[in-house]
Chains A and B, each alone.
Chain A
Amino acid sequence: MTSYIDQFPEEARLVKAAMVSAFLALAVGATFGLLQVLHRTGMVRVLSSADYYTALTAHGVLLALTFTIFFLVALFTWGITTSLDRNLPSMRFAWGWYGTMVVGALMAVVAIFAGFLTEPPTLLGEELSASVLFTFYAPLQAHPLFYLGLAIFVIGTWIAGYDWFRTYWAWKRDNPDERTPLPAFMALTTMLFWWLSSAGVAIAIVVFLLPWSLGIVDSVNPLLTRTLFWFFGHAVVYFWLMPAYMLWYILLPKLSGGKLFSDPLARVVFVLFLLLSTPTGIHHQYMDPGIAEGFKFIVMVNTMFLLLPSLLTAFTVVASMEHGARQRGGTGKLRWLGKLPWRDPVFTGMALSGLLFAAAGFSGMINAGMNINYLVHNTFWIVGHFHLTVGTAVALTFMAGSYWFIPQVTGKPLWNRTAGLVQVLLWFLGMVFMSNAMHRAGLLGVPRRTAEPQYENFAFEGAIGSVGELDAQVVLGGTLLAISTIIFLVTIVMTMLGDRGEVPDNSYAGTLSGPEHSPAILDNLKLWTAIALVLIVLAYSLPLAAIVQRGGLFGPGIDGITRVLPPIDTIGGLVEWVVGR
């Protein structure tokens, strides 16, 4: 028996800790999800409508940032060590980046939760609160603790990335002629675009929002900080998605009894994401005045190109599953589907995630079109869309994957296969109800991010069905999702409390067509990073320059930075003095 814990006992503890952190975030975040559904539809109102935004901030930050990214660092640590067959250089260092992430996340979460108190404590001369939603756009302002926490969390992920890279460099020195194994390749390309894109949000936080919330500068240029947020904000969706893709590429074929159809194609997909994840962010700002239509058009073209790697993924992953099904005696054009291991929750959860992701492909194409986006912008449609993507393709894949990973990192068999199967089915079903109704409500014009979407003298008219029917579906879906979350958490806890026993081997899918069939240039990460940089400069330099020129770095005029100027003067004087000598 060689499970991960037998091969890498130290790393297994870290992976387990990161996964448990992710699950804690999921538990709290999903609770708010249910509260939101009940509140918006007016079924049950536990919170006041003013506190709704505090809850929504917690939901967004805990699920979209904390849950996803903790799971990602766990998965990538597993992928790097397993595929390179090599330990991390130093466990103390690794616990260091994990600890950094935990501290950062806790700081942000404390700031958010203080917003629920009637008399929040004061820190640094300001009341603690951060009801700014997970996009933290100015002019909404949070307590400095929130921004600082987010920054520290992101820095933790940067150090983690460095840790994986140095593990890879050490491996490369020992194996100069070997191709990079696929899981490692996936983790490294993902980290490269993460560094590039999160630099944008880091600048937004450290240079603008944090000084502003500390009172060092009086104002910011809201469009500039928004644009810097979306510089990171589209890439972050791929940061969530790449670990799910990794699992689809390397686990689904194996579980189906087959091999990955094409390793080179998988590499091409990840290279395309490295190139195109960042220079697409402005597609979230189609409706922002202050950015010229021409720039938006360029970004739309980039976005449409970005459909390509996802279509390639659909083909490669489905073909790999078909390969497995046919090896197990599957026949016919579609009858082979019956030969897939549908009773295995790991497989079924991931396959259903993929199915809903395909549905999200449709609403995504609507969102991506510059003109048709006007129809759905900031409506409930968008919420329906991303609960299919991050809320299912990512979250359900992670949950299903956990039924494989928790046994790997504990050596304990899954507590109950049926519970797992029921859980993934309930999530699928709940999301079909909730997300479909959200899409339809959005088309009627029902807004997102609203505690009370009904106003006096204003009624949303449905073409088919009624708002009451849509509300009922949202509540039904949300309730099924909440039940599914509980079953998931119980299954994980019971597994961890169980005894050690027989668990699957730590291995991933082989390939029908291996890396030897692809040109070596695919593995040239320096080249792809350089091209990615060029694309970013092309997409962003002119819009950013225009935004700064019109609105100033710190808002119109230079007034906002009066308090920054004296220190800059001092530094300038110092430089002059040094150069003068």
Chain B
Amino acid sequence: MSQPTDPPGTPPDSAIERELTHDEFDPIGTAVLITLYFLILVGMWLFTYFVEFLGNGPTVVGVIG
């Protein structure tokens, strides 16, 4: 965390514990997050398919009752 006294938008230099160069840095967390995102997308696609296409007749929008 940046210090509560720092003005917002100050880079938290004081909190930096180690320098990571391009070769030392392995963005594994990013890979995990993006995989999660894709899984959510796929899940939502399936959900949409079942609810909207299998659940409704061929009408485009709404049902006039």
Contacts and interface: CB of A to CB of B under 8 A. Distances in A.
A365 B28 CA distance: 26
A254 B27 CA distance: 17
Contacts of A251: 9
B1 A461 contact: no
A328 B15 contact: yes
Interface string B1-26: 11010011111110111111110010
A77 interface: no
B19 A261 contact: no
Contacts of B40: 362
B57 interface: no
Interface string A304-331: 0000000000110011001101111100
A326 B29 CA distance: 10
Given A322-B27, A323-B25, A329 B8 contact: no
Nearest to B10: A504
A458 B65 CA distance: 6
Contacts of A447: 61
Question: Range of interface residues on chain A?
Answer: 35 or more
A76 interface: no
A241 to B, nearest CB: 18
B32, B52, B62: most-surrounded residue (chain A CB, <10 A)? B62
B7, B22, B52, B63: most-surrounded residue (chain A CB, <10 A)? B7
A445 B9 contact: no
Interface stretch (A17-25, A31-39, A105-113, A336-344): A336-344
Given A346-B9, A503-B7, A512-B22, A333 B65 contact: no
Interface string B43-65: 01000100110010000111111
B34 interface: yes
A6 to B, nearest CB: 15
A414 B52 contact: no
A501 to B, nearest CB: 8
Contact of B44 (A343, A362, A404): A362
B2, B9, B40: most-surrounded residue (chain A CB, <10 A)? B9
B27 A261 contact: yes
A537 B60 CA distance: 33
Contact of B29 (A333, A361, A374): A333
Nearest to A345: B8
Interface in A252-277: 254-255, 257-258, 261
Interface string A370-397: 0010110101000000000000000000
A545 B55 CA distance: 41
A330 to B, nearest CB: 8
Interface in A504-554: 504, 512-513
A248 B8 CA distance: 16
A323 to B, nearest CB: 5
Given A257-B15, A322-B29, A326-B25, A315 B34 contact: yes
Contact of B18 (A315, A327, A366, A460): A327
Given A362-B44, A457-B65, A458-B65, A255 B11 contact: yes
A314 B16 CA distance: 24
Contacts of B8: 344-346, 403-404, 414, 417, 420, 504
Contacts of A329: 15, 17-18
B6 to A, nearest CB: 8
A459 interface: yes
Given A327-B17, A328-B17, A375-B61, A463 B51 contact: yes
Contacts of A513: 22
Contacts of B16: 257, 327-328
Contacts of A94: none
B64 to A, nearest CB: 6
Given A344-B9, A403-B9, A334 B29 contact: yes
A374 B58 CA distance: 11
A482 to B, nearest CB: 23
Contact of A314 (B13, B34, B55): B34
A404 B32 CA distance: 30
B24 to A, nearest CB: 9
Interface of B: 1-2, 4, 7-13, 15-22, 25, 27-30, 32-34, 37, 40-41, 44, 48, 51-52, 55, 60-65
18 contacts: A257-B15, A258-B20, A261-B27, A326-B20, A327-B17, A329-B15, A329-B18, A334-B29, A341-B2, A343-B4, A362-B40, A362-B44, A403-B8, A414-B8, A417-B4, A443-B51, A445-B63, A458-B65
